[in-house]
């Protein structure tokens, strides 16, 4: 996974870009969002990398976000911290705040949008990939989203609740929106794009 991570990071680093546009950063959720294809009249740089964690994003933040001096930045990270690194919610939250503060310090005009972290669906079905869902706890994901929402409100950031329409009554990712209990399918992404579109164009 780290080999692919480095290859994607090198690809992002080598790209020609225009400052003061829209930048997306985060994990596979962002990388697979393909928002730039939805808003072809806008310049959107998708700098998401599958396998990303808050710690990795902190280390690569300049290359993926700060040097772009974006007018808008959309951030989604945290799930892999639970799944890969077994970090607790408060440590993940503090890392995300460090990311936000670093952007604010080094790209002062950037409008930051915090995206809620998508839950998983641990259903006992053949298509569910256990290694993705069993290391992630939806209670922890909900708690992280609660912290992020409150932080955004207190510090006048944009909080984009993309999970509200993705969840079932048990706070799980709806099974019709996922390919494996963790990754979204096309239908899931269409719901996300509707939720996020007003923040992109306004």
Average predicted confidence (pLDDT) for the chain: 97
In the chain, what are the domain boundaries?
A: 2-116+136-159+196-201
Q: Which of 22, 16, 73, 26 is nearest to 49 (CA)?
A: 26
54-64 helix and 2-14 helix, angle to the nearest 10 degrees: 20
Average pLDDT score over residue span 164-193: 97
pTM score, whole prediction: 0.96
pLDDT 10s digits, 83-97: 999 999 999 999 999
What backbone phi and psi angles, to 5 degrees, belong to 114?
A: -90, 120
- Fold observed for domain 2-116+136-159+196-201: Rossmann fold (3.40.50)
pLDDT 10s digits, 24-71: 999 999 999 999 889 999 999 999 999 999 999 999 999 999 999 999
């Amino acid at each position: 996974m780290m080999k692919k991570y480095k290859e994607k990071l090198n690809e992002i680093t080598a790209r020609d870009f225009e400052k003061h546009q829209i930048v997306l950063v985060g994990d596979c959720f962002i990388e697979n969002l393909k928002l730039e294809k939805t808003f072809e009249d806008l310049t959107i740089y998708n700098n998401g990398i599958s396998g990303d964690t808050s710690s990795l994003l902190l280390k690569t933040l300049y290359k993926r976000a700060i040097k772009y001096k974006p007018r808008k930045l959309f951030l989604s990270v945290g799930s892999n911290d639970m799944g890969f690194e077994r970090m607790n919610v408060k440590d993940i939250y503090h890392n995300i705040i460090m990311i936000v503060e670093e952007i604010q310090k080094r790209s002062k005009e950037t409008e930051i949008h915090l995206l809620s972290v998508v839950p998983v669906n641990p259903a006992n079905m053949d298509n569910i990939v256990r290694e993705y869902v069993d290391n992630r706890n939806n209670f922890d994901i909900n708690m992280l989203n609660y912290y992020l929402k409150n932080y955004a409100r207190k510090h006048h950031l944009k909080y984009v609740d993309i999970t509200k329409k993705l969840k079932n009554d048990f706070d799980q990712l709806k099974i019709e929106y996922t390919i494996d209990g963790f990754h979204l399918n096309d239908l899931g992404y269409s719901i996300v794009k509707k939720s996020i579109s007003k923040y992109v164009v306004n």
